[in-house]
Amino acid sequence: DIEDLVQVGQVVKGCSYFAAISMAENAQLIFCPYSYIINPVIRRAMELDIKGAIVILDEAHNIEDMSREAGSVDIEEDVLLQLQTELGQLSLVDAMIYQPLYEMTQEIISWIERRKSTLEKREFQHYFSCWTGDKALRELQEANISQQCFPILQECASKAIKSASDAELEVAHLSGMSALTLEGLFSSLTYFFSGNGIHIFDYQLALRHYVKRDVGNAAGAWTHTLSLWCLSPSVVFRDIAGLTLSVILTSGTLSPMNSFSSELGVQFGTCLEAPHVIDVESQLWAASISTGPGNYPLNASYKTADKYTFQDALGTSLEEICKIVPGGCLVFFPSYKLMEKLSSRWRETGQWARLNARKSLFVEPRGGSQDDFELVLKDYYNSIRQGNKPTIGRKRRGKKLDPNNHNTVECTENSRKEGAAFLAVCRGKVSEGIDFSDENARVVIIVGIPFPNINDIQVAQKKKYNDTYKSSKNLLSGNEWYCHQAFRALNQAAGRCIRHRFDYGAIILLDERFREERNITYISKWLRKSIRRYDSFEESLEGLESFFRDVKERIGKKTVNVLQNSDINLENIPSMDQSKGFTRKKNQKVNKSNQCGPKVVSSSAMTAERTAQLCQSPSFVTSMMTLLPKQNL
């Protein structure tokens, strides 16, 4: 894997990156981030040839967003000015290549200056105008970018970008940032003008004037940004589907699945939504809880989320759940804004201290570096391991639940924290790609429904686009697309809990809106049928407590039965009390097969024949829960 390649590079004092590029030329199987495949700019830079290949996109629940982003571009005014400066200087060296590009950027900057005074106020400190179809075409023509002259500009841009990327050429060239800016702009324009202009209505040309707030700069600074947004992922994805022999999309959380065909513009020959590898009835406790202590309704929608009564009821509900659940607790909120608002309220009322007395609290950092996040994650894991150590003399006494009394629990000096709680956000770093197995996440609590920000300009434009072309392009309506985005994020967060076939845990949906059947239908198939509904908060706590009281015995019996009927060594399976999770450190390999059971290798003719049939299908979508169903497939 990557870590091994880095180690080899360090030993031989060679570049692992160029070694991988060299080996990829003759390799039959290549692993890479799927942006390398989807984004044409990166694909060209990496010289990846996907013609006739079978492309498997794992964790493909984000493929629609990734495809739209790959066909879009945003360029801030200062970046555009820097590009113009460099092109002007290089025009003196090679006017044939750089002079047309310099004049183009000059015209774009002039166009921005003319349009600045016409922008309409959208919200506080944000002004905006946009154009699509023929109107966008006319605006680009005013910036001296037309269908007729674009091929000439494209040829010049290709030469300028190649010169910048060729490290062996000792000639003046664009800086790395300017080359990326130019390549991103021409990649989007190429899609926009492709097919003799058939995609001009799939794009939105936008100009924004707003206050940009960076990390560490709360005041921010005003900036203008030129954007060309792709509103249909099919513009990008169809190219990939057309080049390859077969495209396979796989993820534990592709649900809801019915948007992929319409959004990506291809017909999938085979669709599969597989069951989970666990025994859902015995290893999972799933419930929607609609009221808190005292039966106060829990509703995290924008209409009620600002009410102190809701915020206090939610805090008390989390505290009571944390009393019951051992080990790690992941709490997902719809947005950073709501999470920060709740955290602030709970600190004022003392609820934060009471929660922290039960489980050490950790908060997903907003922005920041990956190293900052890894540090918080490591501390979270360490708190869970320390909390699982036996303590002598533990005592606990509690009072009756009362929503008006924040001091619902008194802890004696001999009591101890039991694990940790991680407050995070759907679509954040915690919700995707991290393996919180065993004690690292015995419960996932999802507060509310993570709808995208309705005030986000691109979200609003995408909804409008889908409503406009619902019939002609066979798209979901804007509201249906909006719901799909929310529940795909919810399903992804819910999947952090159960990570292998001997794992167990609880998934709790804290919001009264889950009473409605329409909101349950979007949830992943393996989870949907297991969701319990309770008439009162106290009754739900009794069910949760009963589950964790009995689950270890049930799982222990199941583990023994499975091992007796297989060739697995019992010593390789950790006990339920000893299960631990760790972050992946540098140069440390993670062998998940020890957790997921034996690797399944099938050499049957039927399996080989079925695989061959799937590879011949133009496209294929599958929703896999774990490694085992993938291997069985």
428 and 284 co-located in one domain: yes
Looking at residue 518, which CATH number applies to its domain? 3.40.50.300
Residue linked to tokens 């019915």:
258
210 and 320 co-located in one domain: no
Domains of the chain: total: 2
233 and 294 co-located in one domain: no
Give φ, ψ of 317 to 5 degrees.
-60, -45
Examine residue 181 and state whether it is found in any structural domain, yes or no: yes
3-state secondary structure 373-440: HHHHHHHHHHHHHHHCCCCCCCCCEECCCCCCCCCCEECCCCCCCCCEEEEEECCCCCCCCCCCCHHH
Q: Can you give the pLDDT at residue 561?
A: 59
Q: Can you give the pLDDT at residue 410?
A: 37
354 and 461 co-located in one domain: yes
Which of 237, 269, 304 represents a domain boundary (last residue)? Answer: 237
Examine residue 46 and state whether it is found in any structural domain, yes or no: no
270-273/619-623 β-pairing: parallel
Give the tokens for residue 627.
């490694």
Domain enclosing residue 335, as ranges: 280-564
548-560 residue pLDDT tens: 988 877 776 655 5
Examine residue 479 and state whether it is found in any structural domain, yes or no: yes
Q: Where are the alpha helices (DSSP H) in 244-335?
A: 260-264, 280-283, 308-324
Q: Whose CA is closest to 574, among 444, 440, 443?
A: 440
171 and 303 co-located in one domain: no
Beta strand ranges found along 474-539 (DSSP E): 505-510, 531-533
Which of 504, 534, 564 represents a domain boundary (last residue)? Answer: 564
Residue 411 CA to residue 272 CA, distance in Å, equals 50
Q: Can you give the pLDDT at residue 349?
A: 94
442 and 373 co-located in one domain: yes
Examine residue 446 and state whether it is found in any structural domain, yes or no: yes
Q: Can you give the pLDDT at residue 167?
A: 59
Residue linked to tokens 């019939």:
471
361-400 residue pLDDT tens: 999 998 777 888 899 999 999 999 886 554 433 333 333 3
Amino acid identity at 478: G
**Number of residues that this document lists for the chain:** 633
Q: Whose CA is closest to 300, among 117, 510, 130?
A: 510
101 and 170 co-located in one domain: yes
Q: Which residues of 328-345 are buried (b: 16+ CB within 10 A; e: fewer)?
A: bbbbbbbbbebbeebbeb
Other Cβ atoms less than 10 A from the Cβ of 179: the count is 21
In this prediction, the residues of the chain whose per-residue pLDDT falls under 50 are: 390-415, 568-633
Examine residue 442 and state whether it is found in any structural domain, yes or no: yes
Q: Can you give the pLDDT at residue 169?
A: 61
Looking at residue 115, which CATH number applies to its domain? 1.10.275
342 and 395 co-located in one domain: yes
213 and 117 co-located in one domain: yes
213 and 294 co-located in one domain: no
Which of 521, 549, 564 represents a domain boundary (last residue)? Answer: 564
227 and 297 co-located in one domain: no
Examine residue 233 and state whether it is found in any structural domain, yes or no: yes
Examine residue 387 and state whether it is found in any structural domain, yes or no: yes
Q: Whose CA is closest to 628, among 601, 603, 589?
A: 601
Examine residue 192 and state whether it is found in any structural domain, yes or no: yes
pTM value > 0.85: no
